[in-house]
Amino acid sequence: MKKEINPDTSSLKLTTARKAILEILHHSKHPLSYEDIKNSLLMDKATFYRNIAKFEEEGLIDSFESSDKKRYFELRKSPHAHFICKVCQKIECMNLPCTFEMEAYTIENVIIKGKCPHCR
């Protein structure tokens, strides 16, 4: 029997490396960078980034760049904005709907930067 991550749409094999990445993202309350998790990973960083790219193509995860020049990854869930503190760099998932009146645009990602309650 073929083991796949998303049998309906995907042709990705469910490898040890992929399971490890998805497992870690699954257990995190906020987006993570490669730096954040490299010590928990046995795979090479090229493998990590290549799998991240595949996951993103499949719509399994989302990512964005922070002000620290790193990319942050999380499993795709219901759309929500992210807050990045410019002082402590902490990233938080914000569960406010924040609708914009931008008819002609497709919004995929909202990032709010500023100072968190601790840092201001």
Cα–Cα dist 77/23, whole Å: 15
Restricting to residues 46-105, name those near DNA by CB under 7 A: 46-47, 49-51, 53-54, 65, 69-71
93 binds, options Mn ion, Zn ion, its own copies, none, Cβ within 5 to 8 A by partner type: Mn ion
Nearest to 93 by CA among 67, 71, 112: 112
Verify binding: residue 94, Mn ion, rule CB under 5 A. Answer: no
Counting Cα atoms < 13 Å in the Cβ hemisphere of 75 gives 12
Contact positions toward DNA, by CB under 7 A? 1-4, 11-18, 33-35, 42-47, 49-51, 53-54, 65, 69-71
